[in-house]
Amino acid sequence: MLFQIAAPPQDELTFIELIMKGGVVMIPILLLSVAAIYITVERFLFLRSTINRDNNFISKVTRALSSGNIAEARRYAEDENSSTGRIISAGIDSVGRPMREIESLMESATNIEVAQMERNTGYLGIIAGVAPMLGFIGTIVGIIHIFYNISLTDNISIGTIAGGLYEKMITSGTGLGVGIIAYIAYHMLQLRISRFTLQIQKDVFDFLRSLQVPAK
């Protein structure tokens, strides 16, 4: 007859309990995670509202300008509530000035729009670097504390070391997770802004070309 020895019941920790075992360092890491999520969501919503434009917007403006109807082109730009609309509107308002001056004004308008898009995204880069370091600091401090206790009690059992070590590794794992999220979010936002910059360069080129007087 075979006897099976039942394994001792394992204590299962909830996610909240696991996080709380990370110690005081978890507080700034969790605050950084909240900041990263807030900035990411706010920036993505802002970009979605300011980058999207009517696909026929540029063609409408260029046709109006080519026919000499500046008032109609200005109306199209005012109705287009996007970064592209504001940049093109700056160009329309300067029609009649030297072409070099129009290009300079539109470049300045583009720089302002891009700066608005990049606002607060630098914090994501900071969080991506700081959160993992905070996690490592929490783990190192915890390990120092474990070995200090061992030196006092002279108890070097695996259970004592492993029991304290897994709790301190929580800070490293959480810090890395927050850092990865912030890193990905930062570069995804920069990718969207880069795509907008390329598109606006094409739109400005089409706009300026429509201002050229046809050769006779």
- pLDDT recorded at residue 6: 44
* C-alpha triplet 65, 66, 68: angle, nearest 5°: 60
- pLDDT recorded at residue 161: 61
User: Does 71 fall in a domain?
Assistant: yes
User: Does 162 fall in a domain?
Assistant: yes
pTM, entire model? 0.79
Low-confidence ranges of the chain (pLDDT < 50): 1-9, 214-216
- pLDDT recorded at residue 94: 87
User: Does 1 fall in a domain?
Assistant: no
Buried b (16+ CB within 10 A) or exposed e, 74-100: bebbeebebbbbbbbbbbbebeeeeee
pLDDT digits (tens, 9 = 90+) for 74-87: 999 888 888 999 99
User: Does 147 fall in a domain?
Assistant: yes
User: Does 200 fall in a domain?
Assistant: yes
User: Does 48 fall in a domain?
Assistant: yes
- pLDDT recorded at residue 22: 62
User: Does 14 fall in a domain?
Assistant: no
What is the chain's percent helix, strand, coil content, to nearest 5?
Answer: 80, 0, 20
CB 179 within 8 A of CB 132: yes
- pLDDT recorded at residue 1: 41
Q: Which domain holds residue 83?
A: 23-211
User: Does 12 fall in a domain?
Assistant: no
Q: Could you tell me which residues come within 8 angstroms of residue 146 by beta carbon, excluding any fewer than 6 positions away?
A: 160, 161, 164, 165, 168
- pLDDT recorded at residue 35: 96
Total domain count, the chain: 1
